[in-house]
């Protein structure tokens, strides 16, 4: 008997205002929905439709047999509220994603969660839908007759090419965008072999790294909805294997995908510094921006977090990108162990001296299961009774202090980082009126009108949704 299954992506902190600037398709749910033809799926992305308050969710849930929800640590509070509504309606509630995988004991504590699929979801979900006895399904945690069982882990999928293609047809592609450019996402590999102390990926994928074949990657790109003009590769480390990247580039050019799509990926400073020829080829194939986790510009802090790159590579990496017309979106952590205010401000200055194109900062966060969490607990930097279920996803207050900085100081530095970078007129004028008119960056001209027309108007129209308490508490 076919089931009606509702897969929910919970809302991000800033609601509609955020989604008009950046809104990413729920790729995980599209993969999950691909594992069975027998059942009927609906994917509900609450980032797209800001009108979903508690009553509307409750009405929607009514129609379904199984409610699956994806969950990150910062969305756990909202997810839990949705679980409670679903449970009240007598539905079966299933969670998956990083938070339930790395903190599976939440099922022991919260009776509104019936099942958790830990780790990669596809095969476990398939077996569950096929009706295999729960006790035999690897990677499943479940409640039965009031008792909770955590089955052994499921080994990682050996050949990622065997996965069915994501069910892109289940959602309307039009709301999805990255900085106002109509966008889609693609996954070419899973995991990362590095061992950064703060990172959840190392724990989730146990430092494994598996790739899809370049041919399969192209197949996925060919299925990207027509409306998209940009594809973001969600891989943690797209450039790890140069030979493979070169082959993907070759195939992108052969299939002319770069005629109507541009690409953004996540990479590492050392990969870029080592491989200027790869970067040149990537730009030729339509790559326009690299998302790089610099985290800090203090070597001892990088060593402490086991980031495994050295600062002498930074200038080289930035020059290689800019010489090839590739923008850099730098990501930094505020409150690294071993950094004081002065060190942090040196990092702010370097971001501009290096001419980075965009940056974002995040407070050091002790996510469940990470090595950082253990260290923070041991040293009393975080409350040992930290309850993710009471943290609002828009909450900006850092969750831990460090030996050099209080939580309030980290908060001040976070706000200072954005002011010092984006509100510094000299910097923005220099960047936007000089660099992007050079021939290397001529691809930016194509998007400029779009930025102005769609972006600014939509953003202003939706400003009232920013950190909207009602929107948050609606769940
Ligand atoms: C792309 C991405 C984003 C996109 C989101 C796109 C989207 N709509 O999904 C954007 C840029 C918006 C984003 C934002 C943020 N992100 Co992010 N993101 C990622 C990234 C790089 C890839 C995610 C992805 O698409 N993977 C591919 C899919 C197929 O895998 P998956 O999501 O893991 O899903 C599989 C399983 O987890 C499982 N599964 C997942 N959901 C469900 C649900 C059910 C019902 C079942 C059965 C199974 C299941 O099955 C899936 C298929 O195998 C991950 C790192 C990573 N490697 O996953 C970080 C990651 C998920 N992000 C993270 C963080 C911290 C954030 C931010 C807080 C960052 C910030 N500075 O604001 C925000 C969170 C905003 C919020 N909700 O509060 C952390 C989460 C840590 C945690 N414990 O919660 C990660 C792990 C990065 C890291 N290294 O720590 N992110
Ligand atoms: S390189 Fe990136 S994905 Fe890999 S462990 Fe470090 S932070 Fe995580």
How far apart are the CA of 243 and the centre of ligand 1, in A? 27
Q: Assess whether 67 and 188 both reside in one domain.
A: no
Nearest to 234 by CA among 199, 185, 269, 164: 185
Q: What is the pLDDT of residues 186-196, one digit of tens each?
A: 999 999 999 99
Q: What is the pLDDT of residues 127-149, one digit of tens each?
A: 999 999 999 999 999 999 999 99
pLDDT at 471: 46
| 156 is a domain residue | no
Out of 79-93, 152-166, 438-452, which region has the weakest mean confidence (pLDDT)?
438-452
| 466 is a domain residue | no
Q: Which residues have C-beta atoms less than 6 Å from ligand 2?
A: 192, 194, 196, 199, 201-202, 236-237, 268, 293
Q: Assess whether 226 and 346 both reside in one domain.
A: yes
Q: Whose CA is nearest to atom 8 of ligand 2?
A: 199
| 457 is a domain residue | no
Asked if residues 374 and 197 have their Cβ atoms less than 8 Å apart, the reply is no
380 CA to centre of own chain:
28
User: In angstroms, rounded to a whole number, what is the distance separating the alpha carbons of residues 437 and 465?
Assistant: 34
| Best residue among 190, 192, 301, 332 to mutate for probing ligand 2, ranked by most atoms within 8 Å of CB | 192
How far apart are the CA of 350 and the centre of ligand 2, in A? 22
Q: Assess whether 223 and 101 both reside in one domain.
A: no
Q: In which band, very low, low, confident or very high, does the pLDDT at 446 lie, cut at 50, 70 and 90?
A: confident
Q: Which atom of ligand 2 is nearest to the CA of 195?
A: 5
SS3 label, residue 438: coil
pLDDT over 90 (residue 436): no
Q: In which band, very low, low, confident or very high, does the pLDDT at 17 lie, cut at 50, 70 and 90?
A: low
Of 94, 126, 144, which marks where a domain is finished?
Answer: 144
User: In angstroms, rounded to a whole number, what is the distance separating the alpha carbons of residues 304 and 327?
Assistant: 28
Q: Assess whether 50 and 125 both reside in one domain.
A: yes
Q: Whose CA is nearest to atom 1 of ligand 2?
A: 194
User: In angstroms, rounded to a whole number, what is the distance separating the alpha carbons of residues 430 and 150?
Assistant: 56
Total structural domains within the chain: 2
pLDDT over 80 (residue 115): yes
Q: Assess whether 230 and 298 both reside in one domain.
A: yes
Q: Assess whether 215 and 326 both reside in one domain.
A: yes
**Winning range, highest mean pLDDT, from 49-63, 355-369, 450-464:** 355-369
Place of tokens 């909805």: 225
Q: Assess whether 415 and 347 both reside in one domain.
A: yes
| 271 is a domain residue | yes
pLDDT at 411: 96
Edge-to-edge strand ranges of the sheet holding 66-70: 40-45, 4-9, 66-70, 92-96, 115-117, 140-144, 147-150
How far apart are the CA of 205 and the centre of ligand 1, in A? 13
Say what the pTM is. Answer: 0.95
| Best residue among 202, 204, 205, 266 to mutate for probing ligand 2, ranked by most atoms within 8 Å of CB | 202
Question: How many alpha carbons fall within 13 Å on the CB side of residue 18?
Answer: 17
pLDDT at 466: 44
How far apart are the CA of 26 and the centre of ligand 1, in A? 9
| 251 is a domain residue | yes
| 27 is a domain residue | yes
Q: In which band, very low, low, confident or very high, does the pLDDT at 53 lie, cut at 50, 70 and 90?
A: confident
Mean pLDDT of the chain: 92
Please give the residue that has the higher pLDDT: either 26 or 433: 26
Q: Which ligand is nearest to the CA of 79?
A: 1
Please give the residue that has the higher pLDDT: either 312 or 54: 312
CATH of the domain at 330: 3.20.20.70
Q: Whose CA is nearest to atom 3 of ligand 2?
A: 236
Helix (H) or strand (E) holding 16: helix 15-21
Q: In which band, very low, low, confident or very high, does the pLDDT at 14 lie, cut at 50, 70 and 90?
A: low
Q: Which ligand is nearest to the CA of 220?
A: 1
Q: Which residues have C-beta atoms less than 6 Å from ligand 1?
A: 12-13, 24, 26-28, 31-32, 68-70, 72-75, 94-99, 117, 120-122, 125, 187, 199-201, 234, 236, 362, 367, 393
How far apart are the CA of 72 and the centre of ligand 1, in A? 7
Q: Assess whether 266 and 311 both reside in one domain.
A: yes
How far apart are the CA of 262 and the centre of ligand 2, in A? 24
| 154 is a domain residue | no
Of 144, 159, 190, which marks where a domain is finished?
Answer: 144
Out of 59-63, 254-258, 329-333, which region has the weakest mean confidence (pLDDT)?
59-63
Share of the chain above pLDDT 90, in %: 81
Q: Assess whether 279 and 358 both reside in one domain.
A: yes
| 167 is a domain residue | no
Q: Assess whether 288 and 423 both reside in one domain.
A: yes
Q: Assess whether 229 and 124 both reside in one domain.
A: no
pLDDT over 60 (residue 472): no
Q: Assess whether 46 and 115 both reside in one domain.
A: yes
How far apart are the CA of 28 and the centre of ligand 2, in A? 19
CATH of the domain at 25: 3.40.50.280
User: In angstroms, rounded to a whole number, what is the distance separating the alpha carbons of residues 264 and 348?
Assistant: 24
Asked if residues 69 and 59 have their Cβ atoms less than 8 Å apart, the reply is no
How far apart are the CA of 160 and the centre of ligand 1, in A? 18
The whole-number average pLDDT for the span 213-232 is 98
Q: What is the pLDDT of residues 371-408, one digit of tens each?
A: 999 999 999 999 999 999 999 876 668 999 999 999 99
Q: Which ligand is nearest to the CA of 183?
A: 1
Helix (H) or strand (E) holding 360: strand 358-363
User: In angstroms, rounded to a whole number, what is the distance separating the alpha carbons of residues 359 and 422?
Assistant: 9
Domain range for 321 is 181-364+402-436
Share of the chain above pLDDT 70, in %: 91
Q: What is the pLDDT of residues 331-356, one digit of tens each?
A: 999 999 999 999 999 999 999 999 99
């Amino acid at each position: 008997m076919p089931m009606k299954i509702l897969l929910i992506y919970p809302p991000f902190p800033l609601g509609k205002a955020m989604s008009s600037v950046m809104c990413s398709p729920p790729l995980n749910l599209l993969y999950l929905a691909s594992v069975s033809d027998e059942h009927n799926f609906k994917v509900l992305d609450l980032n797209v439709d800001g009108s979903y308050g508690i009553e509307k969710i409750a009405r929607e849930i009514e129609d379904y047999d199984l409610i699956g929800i994806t969950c990150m640590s910062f969305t756990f509070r909202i997810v839990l509220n949705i679980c409670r509504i679903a449970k009240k309606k007598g539905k079966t509630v299933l969670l998956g994603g990083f938070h339930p995988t790395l903190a599976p004991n939440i099922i022991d504590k919260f009776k509104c969660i019936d099942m958790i699929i830990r780790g990669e979801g596809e095969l476990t979900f398939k077996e569950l839908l096929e009706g295999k006895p729960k006790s035999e399904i690897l990677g499943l945690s479940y409640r039965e007759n009031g008792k909770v069982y955590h089955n052994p882990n499921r080994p990682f999928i050996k050949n990622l090419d065997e996965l069915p293609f994501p069910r892109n047809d289940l959602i309307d592609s039009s709301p999805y965008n990255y900085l106002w450019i109509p966008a889609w996402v693609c996954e070419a590999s899973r995991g990362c072999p590095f061992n950064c102390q703060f990172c959840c990926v190392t724990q989730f994928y146990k430092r494994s790294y598996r790739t899809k074949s370049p041919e399969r990657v192209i197949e996925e790109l060919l299925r990207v909805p027509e409306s998209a003009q940009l594809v973001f590769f969600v891989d943690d480390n797209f450039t790890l294997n140069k030979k493979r990247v070169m082959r993907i580039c070759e195939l992108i050019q052969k299939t002319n995908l770069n005629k109507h799509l541009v690409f953004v990926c996540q990479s590492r400073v050392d990969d870029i510094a080592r491989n200027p020829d790869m970067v040149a080829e990537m730009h030729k194939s339509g790559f326009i921006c690299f998302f790089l986790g610099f985290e800090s510009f203090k070597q001892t802090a990088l060593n402490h977090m086991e980031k495994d790159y050295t600062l002498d590579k930074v200038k080289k990496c930035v020059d290689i990108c800019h010489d090839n017309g590739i923008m850099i979106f730098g990501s930094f952590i505020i409150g690294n162990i071993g950094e004081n205010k002065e060190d942090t401000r040196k990092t702010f200055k370097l971001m501009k001296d290096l001419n980075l194109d965009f940056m974002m900062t995040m407070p050091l966060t002790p996510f469940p299961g990470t090595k950082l969490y253990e260290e923070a607990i041991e040293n009393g930097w975080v409350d040992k009774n930290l309850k993710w279920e009471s943290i609002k996803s828009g909450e900006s207050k850092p969750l831990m202090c460090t030996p050099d900085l209080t939580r309030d100081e980290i908060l001040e530095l976070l706000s200072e980082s954005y002011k010092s970078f984006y509100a510094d007129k000299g910097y923005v004028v220099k960047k936007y009126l000089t660099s992007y008119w050079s021939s290397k960056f001529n691809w930016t001209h194509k998007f400029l009108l779009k930025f102005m027309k769609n972006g600014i108007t939509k953003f202003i129209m939706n400003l009232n949704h920013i950190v909207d308490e009602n929107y948050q508490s609606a769940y």
